Amino acid sequence: AQSVTQPDIHITVSEGASLELRCNYSYGATPYLFWYVQSPGQGLQLLLKYFSGDTLVQGIKGFEAEFKRSQSSFNLRKPSVHWSDAAEYFCAVGAQGGSYIPTFGRGTSLIVHP
């Protein structure tokens, strides 16, 4: 079974600073990987996903993530954070060829200081 670790519960950055949210996964084969964002009281919005191919994935809102098989990681990055990026971010991993249902990490709360 797959699992996801988001080691940081909270991340605080200043507006305009760069951002990296960490995600490590455990799965025996090439996984499907996702990053979602959740604003307070809202559902989840997909930021980006990796299924295969180029390991650097571009998403919406200026986010990108890089799949590193050797490190079992899929870290999310943004070069310049905006105050509106403050939200909860979830990494998820799904099993290719399996039931697909993704397993979610516990989430990282992003706090943006002006």
Partner 1 sequence: GAVVSQHPSWVICKSGTSVKIECRSLDFQATTMFWYRQFPKQSLMLMATSNEGSKATYEQGVEKDKFLINHASLTLSTLTVTSAHPEDSSFYICSAIQTGGYEQYFGPGTRLTVT
Could you tell me which residues come within 8 angstroms of residue 2 by beta carbon, excluding any fewer than 6 positions away?
A: 25, 26, 27, 31, 93, 94, 95, 103
Q: Is 49 in the site for partner 1 (CB under 8 A)?
A: yes
Q: Is 59 in the site for partner 1 (CB under 8 A)?
A: no
Q: What's the distance, CA 16 to chain centroid?
A: 19
Out of 46, 57, 58, 77, the only residue in the binding site for partner 1 (CB under 8 A) is 46
Phi, psi of 109 (to 5 degrees): -90, 120
Nearest distance from C-beta of residue 14 to partner 1, angstroms: 23
The residue ranges that bind partner 1 (CB under 8 A) are 32, 36, 41-46, 49, 90, 94, 100-102, 104-107, 109
